[in-house]
Amino acid sequence: MRIARFTTGDDSRFGAVGQDESGETVIAVLDGDPLYRSIQLTGERLSLPEVRLLAPVIPRSKVIGVGRNYAAHAAELGNEAPAEPLLFLKPNTSVIGPDDPIVLPEQSADVHHEAELAVVIGRIAKAVPRDRVRDVIFGYTCANDVTARDLQKRDNQWARAKGFDTFCPLGPWIETDLDPADLAVRCRVNGEERQAGRTSQLIFDVPTLIEYISAAFTLLPGDVILTGTPAGVGPVVAGDHVAVTVEGIGALTNPVVAAE
């Protein structure tokens, strides 16, 4: 099932994305937030053009990033592949949704795109063994771990470089029924392909990541794990349009704008 968060101009709502008898994409409106209550349809249906898609989840707790989780990406930046998962946090204020602008901060002159598969946690999880990982996953979505590369190098830690407002686009929806073992992850900028990898190339796969992360700190419903980016990262400038696609989910597109 594909779960979207959307608005028609008022408060945000949730819906199940599918097709009607004519093949048109529609959203069947849900009663409440499916992260916190069982899925119940209200009976209302809306066509996709009638709504504005929002980030499918706003983490109430945290976004956990995993650095250098593709060997080729680690190498392209002159780094060795880590011996164990390299973790960092992004604030929930960095999260935006489909078509929301990525704002280039004045502090940076070298902002990069990073296409990723994101995991959305569905229940409280602590010290989860890898054979129980599926029990705590709500679903998967596309992510762009936008990074101020110059600040990342200058600060010697990653909080500022990856934590600016608008630096965590998520969307377009959450796919709840997906095997993350071997999915294509791509990034196109202005239609030109920049990144193309597969989740089978991850150094640490999704079960390993959740086992490792949940041993360090408790995961809460709505927490998001960014699993890492394939090789091909590069700069974006004002006027660019960035499209992240993950096989089996869809495309997440965001324009890039300069700070006002």
| 3-state class (DSSP) for residue 28 | strand
pLDDT above 90 for 260: no
DSSP state, residue 40: -
pLDDT above 90 for 34: yes
- The DSSP secondary structure of 58-79, one letter per residue, reads --SS-EEEEES-BHHHHHHTT-
Show the CA angle centred on residue 23, arms to residues 19 and 28, nearest 5°. 25
The pLDDT score that the predictor gives to residue 97 is 98
- Note the pTM of the prediction, 2 decimals: 0.97
Give the tokens for residue 178: 């997906």
Q: What is the mean pLDDT of the chain?
A: 97
**What's the pLDDT tens digit per position in 83-119?**
999 999 999 999 999 999 999 999 999 999 999 999 9
**What's the pLDDT tens digit per position in 137-170?**
999 999 999 999 999 999 999 999 999 999 999 9
The pLDDT score that the predictor gives to residue 164 is 98
Tell me the C-alpha to C-alpha distance, in Å, between residue 142 and each of 57, 78, 116, 172, 229: 12, 26, 6, 7, 11
**What's the pLDDT tens digit per position in 231-242?**
999 999 999 999
**What's the pLDDT tens digit per position in 45-77?**
999 999 999 999 999 899 999 999 999 999 999
